Structure 1
Amino acid sequence: MSPWRSELSFVLLSLLFGAFFAKLFNQASLVLWLCLVSYLARHLFFVNRLLAWLQGGRASQMPQGDGVWEEIYYLIFRLRRRNKRRKKQLIQMLERFRTATAALPDATVVLGPRDEIDWFNEAAGQLLGLRRGDIGQQIGNLLRYPKFTDYLKRKDYHQATIGIPSPAAENVQLEIRVVPYGDDLRLLVAQDVTQLRFMERVRTDFIANVSHELRTPLTVLKGYLETLSDADATPPAYLKVFRRMEEQTTRMQSLIDGLLSLTRLESGAHALVPKPVDVPALLKLIREEAGLLSDRGPEIELRLETQAGLMGAEPELRSAFSNLVVNAVKYTPPEGRVTVRWRDEGQGARLDVEDTGPGIAQEHLPRLTERFYRVDVEGGKSGSGLGLAIAKHVMARHGAELKIASTPGKGSCFSCCFGEQRVIRALPLAAQATAA
């Protein structure tokens, strides 16, 4: 209240002098008017001084004042000094950020609200071919790749990264991710994944070549074992050995077929040619085949809640659906039940394969779709560890999603969720005739 006391003292002193001169000259109204003009002129003087101080921009030179103006000058001075200190801290933080990002081996670009380039590090110049003169330009005008342009237009930055070739370095593959931050700003990070892609291709080619080379000798070996197992001249003591060898040969051949199928899906060498698929007829066939695998297996219940079909590759869908059903049969006890449900969700279609088996612990669920990853379950028959990996890649090729839910002791549910663009509400006559 000290500034207001000073201001009130000034007002009372002005009124005292005004009353004195009004009594002296007998002009009360004139003197009162002069007092008000003087008081207003004083405030205008301090306002003008404040304006000159703010326009001058020198926060360290606080103007002198009295009364309430002294407190106003001091508060503004303290606020400007605090802002100056905060601005200095922000500049230091920005410089540290730029120094850190400049040292990153990955290309880093700061994008504005209109996808214009605000800043980029040295690696962005080497990998993306950006120059200092490109600041302010839209990144889509400099990286002219349809996949990257669609990625920016969709603004769905939570999806997986996209890969494009480097526009500045020959034979360099980049993986790009855009991370939103701040107030409608984005951070574009491009990583050189050339070596990683090369190693993946070497691994895929190695598995494909080895699997292909093993098929022929395994086929020959299996043929001889079948002949020896069925021959009348074979001693009974050797029959059990030959049949056990034949079982293991069959298992190895199944494993190689699965590896070759997974390699084809991962490589993407064969483009997906969508055709109408009668899913209800396909599921009926899969149920019959799964029932023949085990005479004493669990009951398989098929619930067709819709007659809708899909646009896709029937061999791939059959492989994925069959793997899910066969896995459910393997891990479900004979007294249990496997339920296969095909339903229309309005905005898509969904296949649920639910079993009453022992279930899977939560820590295993994220890794179930990895190749050769298997969970030891009591009472379940060990598989190759490729079925879920194949199903996952088939779903990815069809723009669908494989969801897994499981509760230990209660069972599991594997769901294939298809988007609306894949669903066919009324199958063409040709597809219906083929299914029939």
Structure 2
Amino acid sequence: MRPHLIFWISALVRIVLILAGAGLCGHFWGAKLGFALAALGMLALVIMQLQYLLSLSDWLENPSSTRLPDGWGAWTEIFSRLYKLRREDEKNQAELAEWLARFRQAMTLLPDGVVIMDDVMFLEWCNPIAEHHLGLDLKRDKGMRVTNLVRTPEFIDYIILGRYDTPLTLTFRERKLIVHIIPFENRRQILVTHDVTESERIDMMRRDFIANASHELRTPLTVINGFLEIASMQTDENVSIMSSHLKLMVEQGQRMQRLVEDMLTLSRLESAEFQVRSETIDMQMMLKHIVQEAQALSAGKHQIALDFSGPNIQGSSDEIRSAISNLVTNAVRYTPEGGSITVAWHAGEKGPKLSVQDTGIGISSEHISRLTERFYRVDKSRSRETQGTGLGLAIVKHVLLRHNAQLVIESTPGVGSKFCVQFPVSRLIES
């Protein structure tokens, strides 16, 4: 049955009952009493309706804190429907709050910064990445104009021109950002920031690597090709001259081979698919062999000693050997004749520690932070004399990173250098 039909039937029933009661009273006790009862009944009915209307008005004014009355007659249906609507509204609000919380959680986990603004650029919400990128603080800056918070000419011009089809490349707070504004409602806009600082740095490293590798390979190739051209044009070349040319070509060929091998080693170490092997490393045996190789390279020009009192460790034997060998070989190459080199391996509270100390030429403090960069050389002419590839310390850095170890460099020009490798306790062999 339709609600309005129920309402009219209920109202008519109440009126009929009042009039019937008043008629009976008039019949038995007189017409005046019957009219008086009818009037009082209708007045009571009106007062009751007004009371329900007042209750409804109070509830509509503050539906969250005022309880709906039970009602009587048609009001029972009205209040029941209002109660259902209120419950549905509360359910919808709870679902909306849940979806909003999920949305904000998702925005918080995004790798890009997200800022929600109104149509006049007042900040409404932002995620932590946007706070980091743009120096914002949601609690402090909410309700403020974003253009007053990000005060750079490029950003303000981008906002004023309103050409949002093309993203803006912005350098802000020592970060390089790609900024894009997306209108998504009549009175809302989203500002998205993407940090490309790291990718730009990697691209620059890649370009520098290609340029440096090309330069390193070009020199030996030029020597080899030059001597081959001379040999092809002069058939009566002196045997001693030919022998010296061949010797130089062999040296340059070996230099290229070392360079290619080091580049392949670096590529392998940087590969995420190439996992660190876990094997027991006999450190005493390994260090003895490395010191013997260093003595052969030195050819008696240096005093090389081994101070061993540490434990064995777990890791990749080949990688650890390569890293330590690079450190010791560099010490031999950059220590003048008559100098001394000490390789030490000791246990410590923080874990086992390796040190390679020499009395070589030393390194100025401004160069130390860049020593592990690829192809970085303090003295390029001396590096070529010592037949270095410029990749040794880069290989050391990546090996140590893979083994959770740290490299500390101490050096004084003209006095010598000390390269210390601190391995973590987790690398110790469990007894």
TM-score of the aligned structures, taking structure 2 as reference length = 0.48
TM-score, normalising length from structure 1? 0.47
Please identify the structure whose Cα radius of gyration is greater: 2
